[in-house]
Structure 1
Amino acid sequence: MKSKQAKKGESDVPPGAVAGTLETHTSDIANFIREEISSPPVLIGHSFGGLIVQSYISNMMNKRSSDDWPSSADSLHPELAGAVLVCSVPPNGNSGLVWRYLLTKPVAAFKVTMSLAAKAFANSLSLCKETFFSPEMEDHLVLRYQELMKESSKLPLFDLKKLNASLPVPSIPRNSVDLLIMGASNDFIVDAEGLTETAKFYQVEPVCVEGLAHDMMLDCGWEKGAHIILSWLNNLHNDRAA
């Protein structure tokens, strides 16, 4: 995948059975930043995208600690101004979430498996809404996003067995990267324990947005999450300018 194509939504479908690995997705982001971004950016990752951002941060910190830094960091994983993890899969992957759901909420576990692994969300309005959105979300909006998600989900993002075998992502020193870790109170996929797990891993206080579901950036009331991110970005800018 070429980064110039990626930013236009014109990426070719990879030849394999899955879109890539944690390493290749991380490298794609690094390549894009090197080619297109002139100053340290803030990465925002949602769901499994949050896990990719975590991988990027770990690689960046690993290069920062190497003997030939900063040259190696500049060439491989450029520095970030910060990162935002939104309803992110925890550093240990989704296996803990799956087992917890199976033991405590088996019906929800079945629905999540059908919706995501079996792609049933693509053909069921009610399941799509329950998985990704709040009950108050209007059906015509759910249908619109359902169609867009179908088009963007031609391949699984990962081989989950191989992914989980490579986790957890390596830890980083406390306060080495500015992080905002957000969750949603009505998240059907990443529960409160998953949010807490990620926050504890990075020793950051999490923010749980009330009344929003997993796809909070599309959900009705998305402004709540957007305002939190914008406020955090403004504070980050002011701190870096001071």
Structure 2
Amino acid sequence: MRGREWARPVRPVRREVLEATPGLDEGRPPLLFVPGFGHGAWAFAEHWLGHAAERGFSGYALSLRGQAGSGPASEATLRAYAHDVVQVAAGLPRQAVLVGHGAGALVVAHALARYPARAAVLAAPVFGGWVTALTALRRNPLGTLPALFGGRLRCSRVQLFGRELPRDEARRHLSRLGRPARRAQWQLLLGREPEPAVGDPPVLVLGSPEDRVVPRSALTRAARRYASAPLLFPGMGHDVMLDAGWREPIDAILDWLEKERSGSLSPGGSVRGSYRVG
């Protein structure tokens, strides 16, 4: 029993959820995609939702409150974000796989303590803490410094995307980025540890060794938390779902889930492809 949940319930808000479903339902678990701060469901609708449906997986992408098409929430917290994920997941037709990107991976980690997910995927996870803040400040001082004083965290093209993504496409994505809530931004920097996941679901961590937001050491630490090693996709930026090589990470995720469905997957299980582990 969580007394705080009863004493101070999260305020309801309109949630934007985009979806893509396969023509034939073969009983695969649905995927719920959770974007990072400043992003919305559109970031997954660009490529990953449709591709998952083509491979037989129903995909749902949530815009966190205050982002994209969801209702305004200027004082949203990590707790409110996790609440929204749990509520949407609970309304899906089957036990869902939670897929979080960036700070959305931290939201998913918190949601796992309240929702018995079939599995979880943490893509380029930003788990916060002062080490992450200092890394961001060193690599992107002009974009990070305002966030330390309640302003907007701004990421550049070279942080989010690899060199192969055309400039005009990168600009289009950057123009859609919103402003995360100040309280949630601060909570990300403080880095409160998520509680243990309900039911010990398998968790896959992936990212790029060239990510200028999440260093490789942070990927390794996140994966060790779940007794696994990260899958690495060289040549990509932080936004692996929007970068030029977007197909490779989502295929790795779906390959991994196919192994999980067959019962042969361990938390650090390998999948086919040209990416590498560790």
Pairwise CA distance, 1:114: 5.7
**Pairwise mapping of residues 83-122 of structure 1 onto structure 2 (< 5 A)?**
83-90=120-127, 93-100=128-135, 106=138, 108-113=139-144, 118-121=152-155
What aligned pairs does 1:27-176 form with structure 2 within 5 A after superposition?
27-35=83-91, 37-57=92-112, 59-60=113-114, 77=115, 79-90=116-127, 93-100=128-135, 106=138, 108-113=139-144, 118-121=152-155, 128-149=156-177, 153-156=178-181, 158-165=183-190, 167-172=192-197, 176=200
1:128-184 C-alpha deviation (Å, 9 max, x unpaired): 3112001222111012111222xxx144374333445461112459x9211110011
Greater per-residue helix proportion: 1
- Which whole-Å CA distance do the structure 2 matches of 1:114 and 1:88 have between them? 21
Percent identity at matched positions? 21
Amino acid in the other structure paired with 1:110: P
The answer for the alignment partner of 1:72 in structure 2 is none
Q: Could you tell me whether the CA contact under 8 Å between 2:120 and 2:204 is conserved in 1?
A: yes
Aligned amino acid, residue 118 of structure 2: A
How well do the aligned residues superpose, as a CA RMSD in angstroms?
Answer: 2.8
TM-score, normalised relative to structure 1: 0.73
Give the number of the structure whose residues are more often strand, by fraction. 2
In 2, Cα distance between the equivalents of 1:111 and 1:135?
21
Match of 1:236 among 256, 260, 278: 260
Q: 2:205 aligns with which of 154, 176, 181?
A: 181
Give 2:17's aligned residue.
7
Distance 2:145 2:248 in 1: 29
Counterparts in 2 of 1:157 and 1:207: CA distance versus 1, 3 Å: farther
User: How far 1:193 sits from its partner (Å)?
Assistant: 0.9
Aligned residue in 2 for 1:201? 225
Structure with larger RCO (C-alpha < 8 A, sep 6+): 1
2:174 is aligned with what amino acid?
A: Q
- Helix, strand or coil at the partner of 1:180: strand
Which string of whole-angstrom CA distances, capped at 9 and with x for unpartnered residues, describes residues 14-49 of structure 1? 2x3x3x1111111111111223x1211101000000
Within-5 A mapping of 1:9-28: 10-14=69-73, 16=74, 18=75, 20-28=76-84
Q: Which runs of 5+ in 2 are unaligned?
A: 1-10, 19-67, 265-278
Is the 8 Å Cα contact of residues 121 and 203 (structure 2) preserved in structure 1?
yes
- For the residue of structure 2 that corresponds to 1:7, the secondary structure is strand
Distance 2:14 2:185 in 1: 27
TM superposition shift of 1:95: 1.8
The 1-side partners of 2:169 and 2:252 are apart by: 23
Output the amino acid matched with 2:17.
K
User: Given the superposition, is the C-alpha separation of residues 6 and 157 from structure 1 closer, same or farther in structure 2, using an over 3 Å criterion?
Assistant: farther
- C-alpha distance 101-163 of structure 1, shift in aligned 2 (>3 A): closer
Q: 1:193 to 1:211 in 2, by over 3 A?
A: same
